[in-house]
Structure 1
Amino acid sequence: MEPMSSSSVARTLSPVLSVLPTRALVDERFRVVVANLPPWFPVTLHSLHQSEDKDYWEAYAHYVSNDRGAVTVSDDASVGGTYTGKEAMGLLWSMRPVPGSRKDQRLRKVDVCTPIVVTISVYRGHVAEGFQEQTPMASVVTERWYMAPGVQRIDIRERGVKGTLFLPPGLGPFPGMLDLWGGGGGLAEYRSSLLASHGFVSMALEYLSTEQQEVDFNYFEKAFSIVQEHPQVMKDRVGMFGLSFGTSVSLTIAASSKLVSPRCCVCISGTHVYPLNKPLLEIYANMNKEADKKRLDDQNCIIWRDTILPIPSDPEEKIDVRRLKCPLLLVNGDDDQNLATVESAEDIAKMMREAGNEHLLTTLTYPNAGHLIEPPYTPHFRASNFIVHGTREKVVMLWGGQTKPHADAQEDSWGKILAFLRQHLYPSPVTVLKAKM
C-alpha cells in the first residue's frame, strides 16, 4: 500500500483550533493554537471582523505545523501574510480593510456596550486572497471588550457639559480621570470604558462636536469638577488623559487653572504650542492660518506637523509648563506626521528643567510610531479620512508610523500608562484586580 500524501492525510483529520480566552478585554492577549494537523503542513490563519459601519477587516498569516502537527501563534513564526515572525497578537494589530473596501478608513468602536467580534479561521495551504470563497478547516468566534462586566455607563448632561462617565465595578472610592480626545471632535468612549475596566472612574468628554457652538477653558474645568465631585471618586486623586489637542487642554488646565488641580497627566501625541487662552473655535481659526506650512505627500495626504515649527521661543506663545506641579507622562512617536510632538517634548523638558520641575516629567518616544497611539492591538492607520474642524474640509490626514513598530508602541505604552496612573492616583501600593470576562 502506498503511503498517503500530506493532502490526503489532511482530509482525513479534523484540525482543532483553540483561541483562549474567547472572551476578553481588548488589551488582553489571547493564545491561538491549531492542533491535529499533519507534521510540516502549511496552513493560513485568518482573522475577520465586520465593523459597525458594515465594513470587513482582515489579517492573515502563513504557518507550517511542527513535527507534532501543531501551530502555536505566540511561539511559531509567520512566514508571510499581513505580518511575519513570532507575533502573538498579529491577527489583530495587522488588520486592514478587505480588498475592494472604501479607502482611508479608520477602525474605531462606537458602541462600547457591545464587543468587537472577530472570527479566527484556519485554511489549508498558504492563502493570500479569496478567503470568503473558500471553506476553512476550522473557525472560532472571539469577543473583545472595552467594557468589563460590572462597569457602569452613565450619560452626563450637567452644567452644560456633555460626556459619558464610566464607573468600575464595586463601591469604591476610585481614582478619577477626565479623558480628552483630539481635534476630530465629538465623543469617543472606548478608552474611558477600558480605563474603568482597570479600576478608574473615567469620563469621556464631548467637545468640538457639531452640536456645540463653542466651548472654552471653563468648560473643561467644569468637566473636571463633575468627575471630582462624584461620590465614588477620591476627590484628591483625579487625573487628565489627553491625545493630540486633548494634550493642549490637559496641560493648560494643569498649568493655569485656579479651580481644579489634576493629580497627574498623561499626554499622547500632543504639544504645548496651543494654549487654551481663547475659545476653541478661535484657536482653530488661528491654526488654519498656518495652512501655508501644510504639505502633501505623494498620495495627496496632508502632513500637518510643520504648522507648529519652529517651536516658538516666546513663553507667551506656549502653555507655561514651568508652572506644572503634577507628574506628567508624555507619549510620542518619532514618525508623527500630524504634529511635531518630539520637538514639543524636547521644548517642554527644556522649560521644565529651567524652572526646576523636570523631575515631574517622564517622556516615552517610540521609533517609527505615528500619531494615533491607541490601546493595544488596535490596527495601525498611517493615513485616514479626517474632517478639519472649523472649515469642515474633508481631507486624508497622514498620521505616520510603520505597522509593526506602531503596534509595539501601543502595547508597551499602555502598560506603562496604567502603571503611571496606579503609581500617582492610588493612595498606596495596590493590586488592581482586572475584572474577569
Structure 2
Amino acid sequence: MASSQIRLKIFPGVRCLFDKLVQVKVEGLAPHKLVELRSRLVDDKEVIFKASALYQADKKGLVDVSSAPSLGGSYTGVEPMGLWWSMAPETPHRKLVKKNVVTPTVVEIAAHNVVTGEMIASETNQREYMMEGMRRIPVREGRVRGVLFIPPGEGPFPGIVDLYTFGGGLSEQRASLLANKGFVVLALAYYGYQDLPKNPKRLDLEYFEEAVNYLQHHPKVGGPEVGIISISHSGALALSMSSFLTCIKATVCINGCNANTVFPLHYKDIVIPPLPLLMENIQMTQSGVIDITDVTPDPTVGKNRASLIPIERADCNFLFAVSEDDRNWSSALFAKQAAEMLKSHGRESFQVVSYPEAGHLLEVPHMPFCPSSFHAALGRAVVFGGQPKAHSGAQLDLWERVQEFFKRHLNDKST
C-alpha cells in the first residue's frame, strides 16, 4: 500500500458550519483493500473524543463514506457522518463542551492500515459555529446575562431566546448555529454564570421577562413577538414564559417537563413549587451509572398538580419534541399531558414529534452522542438513554423541524 499515492479528501471543503454534512473520500487505495478510518477531537475541557470504522475500497481503490457501508467499528452501515456522531469520550460520562464558539471544533480524520495500524492519509475538518459576518455580543443589561448572536444583513430578523443550561452556565453552540439561519438569538444564562447565583434558591420569571424585553427592543429584531427554544429543565421555564408573557409566539420544548422542577418559580404574586422528587426510585445500572427515569413523579396526580405549568393560559404555538428512550424522565408522558391540557381548553396550536430509540439530550446535528453525563441536581452521573444511530437521525430531523417551525410562526403575522 503506497501511502504517498493515497489521499483523504473532505468535500466541499475542510471548513464548514458544525451542522453541515460533509463527504469523506479516500483515494488511491489498492482495489478492494480494507482501511480503517478514525476520527478524533479535543474539546474545550481537554476531553478527547474518538471513533473508528472499517471500510473496503471499491475496484478503483476508492472509499466514499457517503455511499459505502462501514463494516465494523463505532458504527456499521452507510452513515455519511458516522465518524462525527459516533465519537465517544475517553473520559466516561462527558459531553462535548465548546465554550468559545468564535473558534471551530477541529476534527482529525485519518486513514490507517488495518494490519500495521500505520496512518496513511489524514485531513482536518474545521467545524465552525458562526458564519462570516455574524456578530457575537456579550449581554449585561440590568440583571440579564447572556450572549446575543446577530446574523449578517440589514434585518430586522425574528428574535429567539435560547434556554440551554447543562448544570448552570451558558452554552452558545445551538444559539450561534440557529442564528446562522436568519434569527437574532439570545443565549440566556439563568444561574451559575458570571454574577448570577451558582446555587439559586428560586427562579424569578421577571428575570426572563426582562430578557425578552431586551430582545424585543433590539433594533435588529422584528417584533414584537419572539420565540423560545428549550431543552430538559429549561422546558418548564419555556412553558412558564409562554403562559405568563403575552409576547411569546412560538415555543420549542425538547424533552422537557410540563411541571416546575428543582427550583420554586416566582412571578409577581404567583409561586409554582417544584415537583417533589421520589429519590427512592433511583436505580443503579449494571455499568454503575444511576437511572433516574422514575424519580420525577406524574405531575397530574394529587398534590403534584400544584407544580403544573398553566399552559392553558398560553396563546402561542408549541413544538414538543420527545425521545421515547429518554431516561432522564418521562418526557413523552409530559408532552402528552401538555397536549391534552391544551386540547381541553380548545387550543390546537401545537405539535408533538416523537423519536423512537433517541435519548434525552437531543442537540444539533452531528453532535457526538451522549448516553450518560453528570447531573447537576443530583451531583452524579446519570444515564440518558438512546441508541447512537437513532439518536443521530433524530437530531437531524429535529433541527430541520425547529427551523421550519420558527420561520413559519415568527415570520407569518397572521398566525
TM-score normalized with structure 2 length: 0.91
Shift in Å, 1:157: 0.7
For 1:226 and 1:120, the matched residues in 2 are separated by: 42
**CA-to-aligned-CA distance 1:237-283 (integer Å, 9 cap, x gap):** 410111111110111111123xx421100110101111886359xx9
Q: Would you tell me which structure has more helix in proportion to its own residues?
A: 1
- Contact 1:173–1:232 under 8 Å retained in 2: yes
- Contact 1:153–1:165 under 8 Å retained in 2: yes
For 2:280 and 2:411, the matched residues in 1 are separated by: 46
Other structure's SS at 2:376 match: strand
In the alignment, which residue of structure 2 is the partner of 1:308? 296
55, 73, 85: which one aligns with 2:47: 55
For 1:422 and 1:286, the matched residues in 2 are separated by: 33
**CA-to-aligned-CA distance 1:302-339 (integer Å, 9 cap, x gap):** 32332333331465431122222211001110011112
% of aligned pairs identical? 33
For 2:75 and 2:115, the matched residues in 1 are separated by: 13
- Contact 2:19–2:366 under 8 Å retained in 1: yes
Other structure's SS at 2:354 match: strand
CA 1:192–1:245: 2 relative to 1, 3 Å = same
In the alignment, which residue of structure 1 is the partner of 2:371? 382
In the alignment, which residue of structure 1 is the partner of 2:196? 212
- Matched ranges for 1:199-278 at <5 A: 199-209=182-192, 211-213=195-197, 214=200, 215-257=203-245, 260-274=246-260, 278=265
322, 326, 329: which one aligns with 2:319: 329
Other structure's SS at 1:33 match: strand
For 1:216 and 1:304, the matched residues in 2 are separated by: 27
- Matched ranges for 1:351-430 at <5 A: 351-357=341-347, 359-388=348-377, 394-427=379-412
CA 1:141–1:289: 2 relative to 1, 3 Å = closer
In the alignment, which residue of structure 2 is the partner of 1:342? 332
- Matched ranges for 1:273-284 at <5 A: 273-274=259-260, 278-279=265-266
In the alignment, which residue of structure 2 is the partner of 1:124? 113
Other structure's SS at 1:38 match: coil
In the alignment, which residue of structure 1 is the partner of 2:10? 19
- Contact 1:300–1:396 under 8 Å retained in 2: no
In the alignment, which residue of structure 2 is the partner of 1:194? 177
For 1:12 and 1:154, the matched residues in 2 are separated by: 46
In the alignment, which residue of structure 2 is the partner of 1:434? none
The code of the aligned residue for 2:100 comes to: D
Is 1:31 the equivalent of 2:23?
Answer: yes
Range moving further from structure 2, 268-277 or 37-46: 268-277
Shift in Å, 1:299: 2.7
Other structure's SS at 2:315 match: coil
Runs of 5+ consecutive residues of structure 1 not aligned to the other structure = 1-9, 128-133, 430-437
**CA-to-aligned-CA distance 1:31-80 (integer Å, 9 cap, x gap):** 11111211111111111111122222111110111111111001000100
Other structure's SS at 1:148 match: coil
- Contact 2:165–2:171 under 8 Å retained in 1: no
- Contact 2:104–2:126 under 8 Å retained in 1: yes
The code of the aligned residue for 1:414 comes to: W
- Matched ranges for 1:18-97 at <5 A: 18-20=9-11, 21-97=13-89
For 2:122 and 2:60, the matched residues in 1 are separated by: 21
The code of the aligned residue for 2:41 comes to: H
- Contact 1:79–1:85 under 8 Å retained in 2: yes
Range moving further from structure 2, 71-80 or 298-307: 298-307
For 1:318 and 1:287, the matched residues in 2 are separated by: 9
Tell which structure's C-alpha radius of gyration is larger.
1
- CA RMSD of superposed structures (Å): 2.2
CA 1:328–1:220: 2 relative to 1, 3 Å = same
Range moving further from structure 2, 74-83 or 214-223: 214-223
**CA-to-aligned-CA distance 1:117-149 (integer Å, 9 cap, x gap):** 01111112278xxxxxx5411111110011111
Other structure's SS at 1:264 match: strand
The code of the aligned residue for 2:255 comes to: S
- Contact 1:236–1:263 under 8 Å retained in 2: no
For 2:380 and 2:3, the matched residues in 1 are separated by: 53
For 1:261 and 1:277, the matched residues in 2 are separated by: 23
In the alignment, which residue of structure 1 is the partner of 2:149? 166
Shift in Å, 1:94: 0.2
- Contact 1:14–1:137 under 8 Å retained in 2: no
- Contact 1:94–1:403 under 8 Å retained in 2: yes
Shift in Å, 1:294: 2.9
Shift in Å, 1:168: 0.4
CA 1:384–1:126: 2 relative to 1, 3 Å = farther
- Contact 2:276–2:296 under 8 Å retained in 1: no
CA 1:142–1:370: 2 relative to 1, 3 Å = same
For 1:55 and 1:318, the matched residues in 2 are separated by: 38
TM-score normalized with structure 1 length: 0.87
- Contact 1:331–1:365 under 8 Å retained in 2: yes
170, 173, 178: which one aligns with 2:161: 178
CA 1:394–1:68: 2 relative to 1, 3 Å = same
Is 1:145 the equivalent of 2:136?
Answer: no
Shift in Å, 1:185: 1.3
CA 1:179–1:371: 2 relative to 1, 3 Å = same
